[in-house]
Amino acid sequence: MGRFRFYTAGESHGKGLIALMEGIPAGLRVSNDGIDLQLARRQAGYGRGDRMKIEHDRVEIISGIRHGITLGSPISLLIWNKDWENWKQVMSHDPADAGKSIPVTVPRPGHADLAGILKYDHHDIRNVLERASARETAARVAAGAIARILLAEFGIQIESRVLDIGGISAKAEQQIIAAIDRAKETGDTLGGTFEVIATGVPVGLGSYIQWDQRLDGRIAQAVMSIPGVKGVEIGLGFQASRYPGSQVHDEIYFDGRFYRKTNHAGGLEGGVTNGEPVVVRAAMKPIPTLRNPLNSVDIASGVPSPAHSERSDVCAVQACSIVAEAMVALSLCEAFIDKFGGDSLEEMRRNFAGYLKGIEEYMTTPATGGDAGC
Ligand code: EPS
């Protein structure tokens, strides 16, 4: 078990969302603004539903930070759900409120609804959808904001861009807006693809020593875990299978230091970062809550019925790409802490500087480096 881990808690219409992080070193400067900026980015994008008009996500720091500086102790973050006011009775913790709200009994195809009620022996689909909702990703973004602040101290930056929505290239913005408007009118939803790029990533994060330490695998899992994501690729990804090796692999050159002319590998070889930008692409399916609902079956009666429908987004690909930035940041942060881990930021800086010095020496004089003496 590595020293870095994080969890989230909270239901979509419950009181709020929580992120709990452990392993961030002491001495990192963290501000509410730095976290709120990322939360606001997650809320944006054409096609979000009315919930985003209610919520103005802001973080409340509960623990682990004093006077703007991390203590090395667990960091807990809270985001209140403003919408809770409207759901107090439905989502009440008080047994006295049981039976006062109408249960959701028709599962939405594509959501966790059916599998969730069967798995947890629930009879009200709300018990599933409240946690399976993508609202939870706000907590991931808050945790991810702290991960990115740590990574930025070491020159690592993460950004993303939407590539296409509903099969239309992001270059044709007006067409995308029209397609989202059309989907909204017809009660439909749209998915899309996006790309996350991390620059300034040093050589050597992750490991080929054990399957679960391969960083490409860890990043893929982190991004695939975002609600709605059905495909993840790194570098050339699926395209790599269509070309011969001579056109896929990034040849190595040396002109006083090693360098590549291409980055088809997307910054990862053998599960280890190779110093090139880490490039991750993902495909998000259309959101399964359709205002013009799909066919389903009422679990209470067994009678065919249109799927449950409630307020949702028409398209959240842009938001998903921000969540993916957070998940890539958290994965890189974990690998970074594994490699350079120290209890304080200063200790990490020393470890990092020492490592870079060794790499630099090896890079510029390869014949004398490494295990040449073995
Ligand atoms: C979300 C809040 C939710 C949805 C969306 C994500 O708000 P509500 O359900 O109250 O309208 O807009 O959830 C989903 C897409 C989903 O699949 O559940 C948010 O804050 O991102």
Residue 133 Cβ inside 6 Å of ligand 1? The answer reads yes
For the segment 249-266, the average pLDDT, to the nearest whole number, is 94
Write the residue with the smallest CA distance to atom 13 of ligand 1. 134
Rounded distance between C-alpha atoms, residue 60 and residue 16, angstroms = 11
How far, in Å, from the CA of 130 to the mean position of ligand 1?
A: 9
Q: Atom 7 of ligand 1 has which residue's CA nearest to it?
A: 51
Q: Tell me the CA–centroid distance for residue 132 and ligand 1, in Å.
A: 10
CA 49 centroid distance within chain: 20
pLDDT at site 1: 42
Given pLDDT bands bounded at 50, 70 and 90, which one contains residue 253?
very high
CA distance 331 to 343: 19
Ligand 1 atom 14: residue of nearest CA = 134
> Does the beta carbon of 56 sit less than 6 angstroms from any atom of ligand 1?
no
pLDDT at 365: 74
pLDDT tens figures, 278-304: 999 999 999 999 999 999 999 999 999
Closest residue CA from atom 11 of ligand 1? 312
8 lines ligand 1 (CB under 6 A): no
Residue 51 CB–ligand 1 contact under 6 Å: yes
Angstrom CA distances, 198 to 30, 259, 281, 284, stand at 20, 18, 12, 20
Task: Beginning with the edge strand found earlier in the chain, give each strand of the sheet holding 192-199 in spatial order.
Answer: 168-169, 157-165, 192-199, 278-284, 229-234
Cα dihedral 272, 275, 281, 282, rounded to 10, equals: 40
- Which of 313, 322, 323 gets mutated to test ligand 1 (max ligand atoms within 8 A of its CB)? 313
Q: What is the model's pTM?
A: 0.96
Cβ atoms of residues 236 and 245 within 8 Å = no
Query: Do 244 and 151 meet the contact criterion of CB atoms below 8 Å apart?
Result: no
How many Å lie between the centroid of ligand 1 and the Cα of residue 88?
A: 17
Length of the chain: 374
How many angstroms separate the alpha carbon of residue 372 from the centre of ligand 1?
Answer: 56
Q: Looking at the predicted structure, is the pLDDT value of residue 121 above 70?
A: yes
What is the end-to-end Cα distance of the chain in Å, rounded?
31
227 lines ligand 1 (CB under 6 A): yes
Is residue 340 scored above 70 in pLDDT?
yes
DSSP lists the bridge partners of residue 184 as none
CA distance 192 to 222: 18
* Share of the chain residues as helix, strand and coil, in percent rounded to the nearest 5: 40, 20, 40
Q: Are 15 and 84 in contact (CB under 8 A)?
A: yes
d(CA 138, CA 134): 8
